[in-house]
Amino acid sequence: MKGSRFWAWLIFAVGTAYFFIPLIATFEFSLRMRRGEYSFDAYRVVFGDPRFQETFAYSVTVAIFTIILGVALVVPTAYWIRLRMPHLRPIVEFATLLPLIIPAIVIVFGYIRMYGSSSPLPFLATARGTDALLVIGYATLALPYMYRAVDTGLRTIDVRTLTEAAQILGAGWITIIARIILPNVLIAVLSGAFLTFAIVIGEFTMASLLNRPAFGPYLQNIGANRAYEPAALAIIAFAITWGCMSVIQILARFAPKSANRPN
């Protein structure tokens, strides 16, 4: 017993070193912009850069639309599968897992070839269309996480009874989903939303290949041209990810723990 605890501490210590040394080093590096003393100059430069503000605002907007699209797509589907078509569950689950198998670069490559300006569905002909395609692409990337989160949330509520109760009171499908189901899985949906945000905000491949002025390509561009700002940006990106994950953890505390009738 004592021996195993020693090993556990050792593994934990090595792991902590492996993960914290780069973070500490990055933070230290980000403070070195002013010669001979530590300062937050790099952060001041980054935050003051209009390109930073523009690309960050663009990525936040895209993330919000991605979340809306993801929720609109996943919640009714997961609900319907649970309520009426459980036999389709394996197919839907397989489809939601595909983005983990098909790399993002391949998906976006397919988009570029299929939805070019001369195709029947010319998403890429206009900037707005390309924005839409980027949102769609991100929604597919987030699909596995969003679906898992929502499906887990639905498992903890009694979908059938809630639906029947609402129907007896005269509610239609839209009302049921928007007013009954969605609020009940809100915590799960929000968890999925923040995870989506964390994935989308710094995404590089799709944004770069679709030529959109997003935060990811901006990061890459800064990395290629500057010395200290990238370190500051890495710390900022880490803080954003940390923020999203903390919100998810806090949300998890409010999630309903047990079901009236599991499954």
Partner 1 sequence: MTQASISDPAVAAHSAPPDANRGFRLPTHWLGVAPFFIFALMFLILPTLYLVVGAFQNNEGQFTLDNITQLFRDASIRDAYRASIKISFWSAILGALAGLAIAIAIVRGGLPGWVRSATMTFSGVASNFAGVPLAFAYLATLGRLGLVTVLLRDVFDINIYAMGFNFLTTWGLVAVYLFFQIPLMVVIITPAIDGLKREWGEAAATLGATQVQYWRMVVIPVLWPSFLGTVILLFANSFGAIATAYAFAGPSLNIVPIKLYAQIRGDVLHNPHLGYALAFGMIFITGLANIFYIWFRTRSERWLK
Long-range Cβ contacts of 220-228 (<8 Å, 24+ apart): 227/33, 228/29, 228/30, 228/32, 228/33, 228/41, 228/42
Q: How many CB atoms lie within 10 A of CB 226?
A: 17
Q: Among residues 71, 104, 124, 142, which is the contact residue for partner 1, using CB under 8 A?
A: 104
Residues 131-160 that bind partner 1 (CB under 8 A): 136-137, 139-140, 143
Q: Among residues 182, 209, 247, 255, which is the contact residue for partner 1, using CB under 8 A?
A: 209
Residue 109 binding partner 1, by CB under 8 A: yes
Q: Among residues 86, 160, 242, 260, which is the contact residue for partner 1, using CB under 8 A?
A: 242
Residues 41-80 that bind partner 1 (CB under 8 A): 72-74, 76-77, 79-80
Alpha-carbon Rg for the chain in angstroms: 22
Residue 107 binding partner 1, by CB under 8 A: yes
250: part of which helix (H) or strand (E)?
Answer: helix 229-254
Q: Among residues 159, 166, 198, 214, which is the contact residue for partner 1, using CB under 8 A?
A: 198
**Residue 64 Cβ, how far from partner 1 at the closest point, in Å?**
18
Closest CA to 232 of 49, 41, 34: 41
Can you read off the two tokens belonging to residue 84?
């009426």
**Residue 210 Cβ, how far from partner 1 at the closest point, in Å?**
10
Residues 74-103 that bind partner 1 (CB under 8 A): 74, 76-77, 79-81, 84-85, 88, 92, 95, 98-103
Can you read off the two tokens belonging to residue 129?
């269309």
154-171 burial, b if ≥16 CB within 10 A, otherwise e? bbbbbbeebbeebeeeeb
Q: Among residues 110, 116, 122, 172, which is the contact residue for partner 1, using CB under 8 A?
A: 110
Q: Among residues 128, 224, 253, 263, which is the contact residue for partner 1, using CB under 8 A?
A: 224
Alpha-carbon gap, residue 182 to 162, rounded angstroms: 12
Residue 202 binding partner 1, by CB under 8 A: yes
Q: Among residues 64, 112, 171, 178, which is the contact residue for partner 1, using CB under 8 A?
A: 112
Residue 204 binding partner 1, by CB under 8 A: yes
Q: Which C-beta is closer to partner 1: that of 157 or that of 206? A: 206
Residue 181 binding partner 1, by CB under 8 A: no
Alpha-carbon gap, residue 235 to 241, rounded angstroms: 10
Residue 195 binding partner 1, by CB under 8 A: yes
Closest CA to 39 of 228, 219, 227, 225: 228
Can you read off the two tokens belonging to residue 21?
């040394």
Determine the interface stretch with partner 1 among 8-16, 33-41, 56-64, 148-156 (rule: CB under 8 A). Answer: 8-16
